[in-house]
Structures are given as C-alpha cells and as structure tokens.
Amino acid sequence: MKTRSMVVQCEHGLHARVAAQVVKRVQACDATVHICCATCSRANACSILALLTLGAVAGTRLEVVAEGQDEDVVLDFHVRYFDTTDGQRHV
C-alpha cells in the first residue's frame, strides 16, 4: 500500500467530469484506490458519487491511497492529473 498527497489545481475542483476520468483510470488498473481529505471521509475512487461527496474545491489537499499491482501507475496518474489546472491534460 502506498500513499501520495496532492492539491487539486482544477479551477472548478473535483467536479463530475474530473471524477468520471478518475473512475475510468482507476477501473482500468489492478489496484484498490481511495481518496480522502482533511475534512472528509474516505471515498472509493471507483465511484463518481463517492468522489463528488468529497466536495474538493480548487486548493483542497487530497491523499490518495492505492494498494495492488498497479499502485504506482495509479498514484503517478493522480499526481499528474490533479497538478494540472484543467484536470484534462494527462488523461
């Protein structure tokens, strides 16, 4: 199990389109992934609804926890994805 922290840079935060891309990527990998922030509970990264309930706006620090064969791939994706201002560049 590995963990990485990152800050949401997307202007509109973790909205439905961003959540859908995260779910799509996570479901394609062999890893269990959860995302959480300081003021929220843990969300399963395979669920759009769970990700949206995080209420992560621009500037929110997220912690991504991944476990499985592809944990490094998934964590690298999240770091690149959330470090962009539009959340789309590295999908």
Whether the predicted pLDDT of 90 surpasses 50: no
DSSP class of residue 88 equals: -
Q: Where does the pLDDT of residue 86 fall: very low under 50, low under 70, confident under 90, or very high at 90 and above?
A: low
pLDDT given at position 91: 41
Q: Are 23 and 46 in contact (CB under 8 A)?
A: yes
pLDDT 10s digits, 48-81: 999 999 999 999 999 999 999 999 999 998 888 8
Q: Are 32 and 68 in contact (CB under 8 A)?
A: yes
